[in-house]
Amino acid sequence: MTVADLPLRPREDARELLRTVDLTKHFRLGGFLSSRYLHGVDGINLSIHEDEIVALVGESGSGKSTIARLIAGVYKPTAGDILHRGQSVKGLRSRREVLEYRGRVPMVFQDPYGSLSPVYQVSHGIMRALKLHRPDLSRRGRQDEAERLLEAVGLVPARDFLGKYPYQLSGGQRQRIGFAQALACRPELILADEPVSMLDVSVRIGVLNLMATLRRRERISFLYITHDIASARYVADRLVVMYAGHVAESGPVEDVLAHPKHPYTQLLLSAVPDPRAPISLPEKTEVQEPPRVINPGEGCRFRARCPYAIEECSRVTPLLRLLRPEHEAACHVATSDMDDRHEVAKPAHI
């Protein structure tokens, strides 16, 4: 990866590829007659443009994987909609339309050991994807294209790799095959669900660099889902922080890291071990964990762990507010500093 591959500011005229509108997904717990619902995500409004890598960061249970699966069509939304280039995805009926969408917005999965079928050669998924999404290609054309795809993801010599079985490849190589499968569909936006979490540390960088290269060379946007803020910073333009099914904060990645507005973001940043930072003094140990959101009421879901919580936080669910240029947070207590002078306010008096 070169300096040219580093995240850049998206073009001013970049079109919007995908937008979620109040996207909601609830899971019923128990049998048919149960009234207990697990709130996977509630009221999510996200947008992704061309030439953009958006990182969706959160701990387990925050809903980030649920969003990916909603966008990919694996889950059906309980409420809300997903717009692809302005058109509702829920309305897609014919197989051709659905296939078209699946090709434009494919997904790359987390588990390099489970994402490839062990009984077929690694080229199987790529060939199938080509067969389904590139009907214009002949058999010879598919073969050539498969080789080109393997080269594009850094698996050279491509011809050698086509015939291998998954057990013959390392974790990093298998993930690259996953990217090649996604590329086969000529995508606009790739949903990458924790693509490097299960890889060795020294291999992760290679795959992250691949994402940046694909963005620059093939002009593909990414929704990069992860729990690792450091890797999100490395590769993404915008950062969206999720907590317990809601978006807590969203904005340009450097701005969010330098000026975190939501108390959860601040907590997250303070907890990330940074090898280059000096050793910090022990702080108050924090025992609580993110809640399982079952039939929650109104109110901010972070209030139990928040050092700044006020009375309003338990009554009214905070909505995203613009606090800095292009930078929003859903918090009653955070102050706006469009003039760049203030940090997060102290608790307001009731």
Partner 1 sequence: MIATSTRPLLQVKDLCVDYLTDRGPVRAVDRVSLEVNKGEFLGIVGESGCGKSTLLFAIARLLSAPAEISSGEVWFTGHDMVSMDEDELRHLRWRDYSVVMQSAMNALNPVMTITKQLADAVGAHQRMPPSQLRARSKELMRLVGIDPEHLHSYPHQLSGGMRQRAMIAMALALTPDLVIMDEPTSALDVVAQRSLMLKIKQLQREFGFATIFVTHDMSLVSHFSDRLAVMYAGQVVEIGPTRDVFAAPKHPYTVGLMRSFPSISGPRQPLAGIAGSPPDLGHPPSGCRFHPRCPQVFERCSKEEPDFYTREQDLVRCFLFDR
Partner 2 sequence: MAVRVVTDQVSVETAVVSRRGIAGTIARGLTANRKAMAGLVLFGLFLMVAILAPVIAPYDPHALQFGQMVQPSGAHLLGTTGTGQDIFSQLVFGTRESLLIALAAGLGATVISVVVGVSAAYMGGLWDHILNLFTDVFLVLPTLPLMIIVGTYLNNRGLLVLVAVIVITGWSYGARQLRSQALSLRNREFLEAARARGERSLYIIVFEVLPNMTSLIVAIFFGAALYAVLAAAGLQFIGLGDPNSLSWGTMLYWAQANGALLAGSPVWVLAPGFCIAALGAAFALINYAFDEISNPALRPVRRRK
Q: What residues make contact with partner 1 under the rule CB under 8 A? A: 1-3, 5-7, 59-60, 170-173, 200-206, 208-209, 227-231, 233-234, 254, 257, 267-277, 279-280, 282-283, 285-287, 289-290
DSSP letters along 88-140, please? ESTT--SHHHHHHHHHHS-EE-S-TTTSS-TTS-THHHHHHHHHHH-TT--HH
Which pair of structure tokens corresponds to residue 27?
A: 């899971």
Closest contact distance (angstroms) between CB of 181 and partner 1 is: 21
Residue 182 vs 239, nearer CB to partner 2: 182
Only segment of 96-104, 264-272, 288-296, 308-316 that touches partner 2 (CB under 8 A): 96-104
**Residue 195 sits in the site that holds partner 2 (CB under 8 A):** no
CA distance 92 to 127: 25
Closest contact distance (angstroms) between CB of 10 and partner 2 is: 24
**Residue 6 sits in the site that holds partner 2 (CB under 8 A):** no
Closest contact distance (angstroms) between CB of 144 and partner 1 is: 27
- 3-state SS of 168-225? HCCHHHHHHHHHHHHHHCCCCEEEEECCCCCCCHHHHHHHHHHHHHHHHHHCCEEEEE
Residue 168 vs 314, nearer CB to partner 2: 168
Closest contact distance (angstroms) between CB of 168 and partner 2 is: 6
31's contact among partner 2, partner 1, none, with CB below 5 to 8 A by partner kind, is: none
**Residue 264 sits in the site that holds partner 2 (CB under 8 A):** no
Residue 141 backbone phi and psi in degrees, to 5: -60, -40
Residue 171 vs 299, nearer CB to partner 2: 171
Which pair of structure tokens corresponds to residue 31?
A: 């049998």
Only segment of 38-46, 84-92, 166-174, 276-284 that touches partner 2 (CB under 8 A): 166-174
Closest contact distance (angstroms) between CB of 254 and partner 1 is: 8
CA nearest neighbour of 264 among 246, 277, 281 = 246
* Cα radius of gyration rounded to whole Å, the chain: 21
Only segment of 23-31, 178-186, 298-306, 342-350 that touches partner 2 (CB under 8 A): 178-186
Residue 10 vs 178, nearer CB to partner 2: 178
CA nearest neighbour of 186 among 141, 130, 148 = 130
Residue 76 vs 276, nearer CB to partner 1: 276
Which pair of structure tokens corresponds to residue 231?
A: 């890797």
Indicate the DSSP class of residue 294.
B
- Could you give the angle at which helices 171-184 and 201-218 cross, rounded to 10 degrees? 20
Residue 203 vs 320, nearer CB to partner 1: 203
CA distance 71 to 66: 9
Residue 146 vs 196, nearer CB to partner 1: 196
Closest contact distance (angstroms) between CB of 119 and partner 2 is: 4
Q: Tell me how crowded residue 334 is: count the other CB atoms within 10 A of its CB.
A: 23
234's contact among partner 2, partner 1, none, with CB below 5 to 8 A by partner kind, is: partner 1
CA distance 222 to 71: 13
CA distance 300 to 333: 11
Closest contact distance (angstroms) between CB of 2 and partner 1 is: 6
Closest contact distance (angstroms) between CB of 184 and partner 2 is: 8
Only segment of 20-28, 55-63, 150-158, 240-248 that touches partner 2 (CB under 8 A): 150-158
Residue 22 CA from chain centroid, whole number: 17
Residues that bind partner 2 (CB under 8 A): 1, 72-74, 98-99, 102-103, 106-107, 109-111, 114-121, 125, 128-129, 132-133, 154-157, 160-161, 165, 167-170, 172-173, 176, 178, 181, 185, 206, 209-210, 213
